[in-house]
Amino acid sequence: MGGEAEARKLLEKCVERLKELLPPDAIVDVKVKGKDRVYIEVKREYLPEALEKVYWELGGYLSSMVGTDDRSVDGHYRLYYIVSIEENVRHIQWKPWVVVYTKVPWDNPKFKSTTPKVPAASWYEREVKDLLGLEPTGHPDPRRLALPDDWPEGLYPMRKDFKFYERPPRQPKPYMFRPEKVSEGIVQIPMSPIHALADEPSQFRLFVDGERVVDVDYRMFYVFRGLEKLAEERFTYNQTSFLAERVCGICGYAHSTAYCEAVEDALDIEVPERAEYIRTIMLEVERLHSHMLNLGIACHLTAFDWGFMELFRIREKIMKVAEILSGGRKTYGMNLVGGVRRDIPKDKAKKVMELLKTVREEFKKALDVITSNELFLRRCEEVGILPKKVARALSVVGPLVRGSGLPRDTRYDHPYAAYKYIRVKPAVESGCDVFSRLMVRAREVLDALDIVEHALDQLPGGPILNEEKIELVEYAKGIGYDEAPRGENVHFVVIGKDSRVHKWRVRAATYNNWPALPYMSRDYTITDFPLIVASLDPCYSCTERVIIVDVKRKKTVTVSYARLVHLSRKVSQNPTHTPQLL
């Protein structure tokens, strides 16, 4: 294929350019793998410069960062910054993955923070500090991120000498929300521990001046389950694909696909074409139900419950499609390393095609009604604006970045599974607001219907699973990626001993998106906040309560969920009216 030669050439160009930009002794080692990946080792002291050049000069987006504990191998920790080069090379089919990595010695676990130069690295470096005990010096926000507040100091769970069954004693310590934001007249609103409308528990601190949100701070990772640790110590590599499916309640299949791809990449396992098509079909089915859920919730939050009910009714047909194709409504359990486990017989494909036809018609009608509803539009348009510049700096992914006018889509940028054969054009909207994101999703629903129908029609013959004996190569590294409904998922795998993985790093889409929340919510009202969070598409549920603390008057008022919804609706029906919360 011509695309591969082009990709290789670009890869070489990237390496050469980087060599020019950095001092001559900075780069220690360069290893090209396959057509589109390169691992570049840099000296520890040059790490921030190297990442800065790759990110801003070569036009990369930070896709993931992984810290591994390789002390048992050569006495070092390693830090891998996985960057996807996308800017100015949109036309190339396989865009390069540049992995900048460095060694950190065991007796001096410190490295210079790259966050001041590349803001997208902030969360990753805080996480590495928590879990591996590698200190990013000069990080602007060194608070805890992943570990609970009562976890003892100096104990790092992702180090290899910590066992998964250990239960350390608790040492409660309060978490400090950024105090400099509290000034005269600014009121703090904690939304916690179960946040309004997100089903993951997370704590938000809204700083409001009257009804206007001045700033937002957050504390998350209350459901940090240590799945990666469990996989590394207890699961075999083939069982982990099922564990990966349980990373997320909505886009589980995308995670399991990304995990399998990472192992396949590490061990150079070929996947049969039919399996690639089946994976694509299932991924798109997942996208369909996830986007419909998000659109439905957006309607619900703007008190337009007809849209919510109608979209969920249509979504039920997609759930049926998933049931017919995989035997399960939500957890498909289809993936194994080397292919898929379940074939799609012709009669099933026909049944699915018929269902999809009705879905398309009904969805188009519903969308027409929703987008012609003025109340809905007035709640969504020009709310939660995420400027293109911020989106670029934070490497946000998925409909969020496409809604801000950047055509990032892993299906297009790094074709995996059957997207090599079925080219997808990213759905881009330039409004940067909640409405743009919803429209991106709506367009992707229609695209996904096309893709599923096309793939079912063009399903090639042949085996569905590569059943050759798998040779496990110790410490082989692999990157797996796919475009989940919420954006790009990146998995990084290092193969270990005894059919286990030495390191498995899951990076879910929302991980890159959360840091953008404060930028999106500033200057909008409290009642817009749930909608803005929803447009980011985390998972949803309902809150029990919201406490409002008036710092000035030292008064606490508890607002029930019902009252919050009531207030939200009041605004939705009369945008000029601001309800009195206190």
**Closest CB to other proteins among residues 147, 311:** 311
Q: Return the residue of 17, 320, 569, 570 that touches other proteins, per CB under 8 A.
A: 320
**Closest CB to other proteins among residues 258, 394:** 258
End-to-end CA gap in the chain: 65
Cβ-defined contacts of 229-234 (< 8 Å, 24+): 229/157, 229/158, 229/164, 230/164, 231/500, 231/501, 231/504, 232/496, 232/500, 232/501, 232/502, 232/503, 232/504, 233/163, 233/164, 233/500, 234/164
Q: CB 101 → other proteins: shortest distance, Å?
A: 31
**Closest CB to other proteins among residues 203, 331:** 331
Instruction: List, in sequence order, every residue forming a beta bridge with 66; answer none if it has no partner.
Output: 80
Asked if 542 and 203 count as a contact pair (C-beta separation under 8 A), the reply is no
Asked if 450 and 461 count as a contact pair (C-beta separation under 8 A), the reply is no
Residues that bind other proteins (rule: CB under 8 A) add up to a total of 30
Q: Return the residue of 23, 105, 140, 328 that touches other proteins, per CB under 8 A.
A: 328
Look up residue 221 and give its two tokens. 């990772």
3-state class (DSSP) for residue 265 = helix
Q: CB 356 → other proteins: shortest distance, Å?
A: 16
Q: CB 459 → other proteins: shortest distance, Å?
A: 17
- Taken as a whole, the chain contains a residue count of 582
Asked if 219 and 175 count as a contact pair (C-beta separation under 8 A), the reply is yes
Q: Does 242 bind other proteins (CB under 8 A)?
A: yes
Q: Which residues have C-beta within 8 Å of that of residue 463, sequence separation ≥ 6?
A: 272, 274, 275, 339
Q: Does 458 bind other proteins (CB under 8 A)?
A: no
Which one of the spans 58-66, 87-95, 234-242, 494-502 is the region binding other proteins (CB under 8 A)? 234-242
**Closest CB to other proteins among residues 123, 259:** 259
**Closest CB to other proteins among residues 123, 308:** 308
DSSP per-residue codes, 199-254: SSB-EEEEEEETTEEEEEEEE--TT---HHHHHHHT--HHHHHHHHTTS-SSSHHH
- Rounded Cα distance, 254 and 241, in Å: 11
Q: Does 364 bind other proteins (CB under 8 A)?
A: no
- Rounded Cα distance, 567 and 196, in Å: 13
Q: Return the residue of 88, 108, 137, 372 that touches other proteins, per CB under 8 A.
A: 372
For 225, counting Cβ atoms within 10 Å of its Cβ (0-12 exposed, 13-18 middle, 19+ buried), the class is exposed
Q: Does 361 bind other proteins (CB under 8 A)?
A: no
Q: Return the residue of 143, 212, 331, 421 that touches other proteins, per CB under 8 A.
A: 331
Q: Return the residue of 101, 235, 237, 308 that touches other proteins, per CB under 8 A.
A: 235
Q: Return the residue of 316, 382, 450, 550 that touches other proteins, per CB under 8 A.
A: 316
Which one of the spans 49-57, 200-208, 305-313, 453-461 is the region binding other proteins (CB under 8 A)? 305-313
Q: CB 445 → other proteins: shortest distance, Å?
A: 18
3-state class (DSSP) for residue 415 = coil
Q: Does 25 bind other proteins (CB under 8 A)?
A: no
Q: CB 321 → other proteins: shortest distance, Å?
A: 10
Asked if 216 and 517 count as a contact pair (C-beta separation under 8 A), the reply is yes
Report the 10 Å Cβ neighbour count for 303: 18
- Rounded Cα distance, 438 and 433, in Å: 9
Site for other proteins in 128-157 (CB under 8 A): none
Torsion angle in degrees (nearest 10) through CA of 228, 233, 234, 236: 80
Q: CB 254 → other proteins: shortest distance, Å?
A: 17
- Rounded Cα distance, 125 and 138, in Å: 11
DSSP per-residue codes, 354-403: HHHHHHHHHHHHHHHHHHT-HHHHHHHTT-S---HHHHHHHT--THHHHT
**Closest CB to other proteins among residues 242, 421:** 242
Q: CB 241 → other proteins: shortest distance, Å?
A: 8
**Closest CB to other proteins among residues 177, 242:** 242
Q: Return the residue of 28, 186, 230, 324 that touches other proteins, per CB under 8 A.
A: 324
Site for other proteins in 244-273 (CB under 8 A): 246
Asked if 495 and 280 count as a contact pair (C-beta separation under 8 A), the reply is no
Q: Does 226 bind other proteins (CB under 8 A)?
A: no
Residue 291 one-letter amino acid? H
Q: Does 373 bind other proteins (CB under 8 A)?
A: yes
**Closest CB to other proteins among residues 342, 522:** 342
Q: Which of 30, 34, 35 is nearest to 10 (CA)?
A: 35
Which one of the spans 83-91, 97-105, 294-302, 370-378 is the region binding other proteins (CB under 8 A)? 370-378
**Closest CB to other proteins among residues 92, 324:** 324
**Closest CB to other proteins among residues 138, 327:** 327
Q: Does 466 bind other proteins (CB under 8 A)?
A: no
Q: Does 368 bind other proteins (CB under 8 A)?
A: yes
Q: Does 171 bind other proteins (CB under 8 A)?
A: no
Q: Return the residue of 75, 140, 327, 462 that touches other proteins, per CB under 8 A.
A: 327
Residues that bind other proteins (CB under 8 A): 235, 238-243, 246, 306, 309-310, 313, 316, 320, 323-324, 326-328, 331, 333, 341, 348, 365-366, 368-369, 372-374
